[in-house]
Amino acid sequence: MEDSKTLYIDYGKCIGCETCEYVCRFVHDMPRIHMIRTATGFMAPLYCRHCAEPNCAKVCKRGAIVRDRDGAMVLDPMLCRGCQSRQCMLACPYMAIFETDKGVTVVKCDLCAARRQRGLEPACAAMCPCGAIEYVDRATAESLPDEAAKAAEQRVLDFVKPPKTKPGE
């Protein structure tokens, strides 16, 4: 688990160019990384952190989201029933599970499982023109963010979970 890898996006370096989402679409047909645009016009991709304690897996009654050998949290379409309640989507603190019109109707990142089989890294990390996406071990991912990255990430998290404003504010 400790030496397993995950994705880390430095939102401070990201320029919102959409390359990650489009490359993901090219590789997987239905992208598992998804651009948002906040009310202030800031564009950034939402992505799965392959959490150490994943809420998505915790709430799924079918046990359809499991950790694979490399540490990625993978949705198994054989087990997923595409239930209407969408517990996994609601449980993810990073809004990293998406609804689609296809198959089991939810998609999430599997760290490019088929590519990993061939010894390749996730496609988005390879192609981000800014080098904002890193495929690194967990400890490194935790040590990477600087002040600018944290401030930028806060803007994304405020989009995911808008801060409560007091009435009249």
Partner 1 sequence: MEPMNFNFQCGDPPPPSGLSLGIVGAGPSGLAAAGYLSCLGHAVEVYDKMPKPGGLMLFGIPGHRIPRQRIEAGTLRMARQYGVVFHTHTKICCSAPLFEEEGDHFCTEVKGLGEMITKHEAIMIATGSWRSRKLGIPGEDLPGVCSGLEFLFPIRAAHYCAPGVKAPDVGGKKVVVIGAGHSAVDVAHGAAALGAASVDMLYRRTRAEAPCGRLEIERLEAAGVVWHEGCLPKAVLGETAATGIVCQQGGLERGFEADLVVAAIGEVATPPFAKELGLESVRKGEVRWLNMTAIENVFVAGDALTGPSKIGKAIYSGLRAARSLAQWLDLKAQNRQTEFTGDELISREAERFPGGDFRDAPRVRGR
Ligand X SMILES: Cc1cc2nc3c(=O)[nH]c(=O)nc-3n(C[C@H](O)[C@H](O)[C@H](O)COP(=O)(O)OP(=O)(O)OC[C@H]3O[C@@H](n4cnc5c(N)ncnc54)[C@H](O)[C@@H]3O)c2cc1C
133 binds, among ligand X, partner 1, ligand SF4, none (CB under 5 to 8 A by kind): ligand SF4
Structure tokens at 147: 């002040």
Give the nearest distance from C-beta 15 to ligand X in angstroms: 5
Give the nearest distance from C-beta 118 to ligand SF4 in angstroms: 22
Beta strand pairing call for 106-107 and 43-46 = unpaired
Quick one: which of 13, 17, 59, 76 contacts ligand X (CB under 6 A)? Answer: 17
Q: Does 15 help bind ligand X (rule: CB under 6 A)?
A: yes
Q: Where are the alpha helices (DSSP H) in the chain?
A: 19-28, 55-59, 87-91, 113-117, 123-127, 138-143, 147-160
Residues 16, 42 contacting (CB under 8 angstroms): yes
Residues 132, 31 contacting (CB under 8 angstroms): no
The phi and psi torsions of 27 (rounded to 5 degrees) equal -75, -40
3-state SS, residue 39: coil
Give the nearest distance from C-beta 16 to ligand X in angstroms: 7
Closer of 20 and 169 to ligand SF4 (Cβ): 20
| Residue numbers 5-24 binding partner 1 by CB under 8 A | 15, 17-23
Q: Does 42 help bind partner 1 (rule: CB under 8 A)?
A: yes
Closer of 131 and 162 to ligand SF4 (Cβ): 131
Q: Annotate 147-165 with DSSP letters as a single string.
A: HHHHHHHHHHHHHHSPPP-
Closer of 5 and 34 to partner 1 (Cβ): 34
| Residue numbers 68-127 binding partner 1 by CB under 8 A | 86, 89-90, 95, 97-102, 107, 118-120, 123, 126-127
Q: Which residues bind ligand X (CB under 6 A)?
A: 15, 17
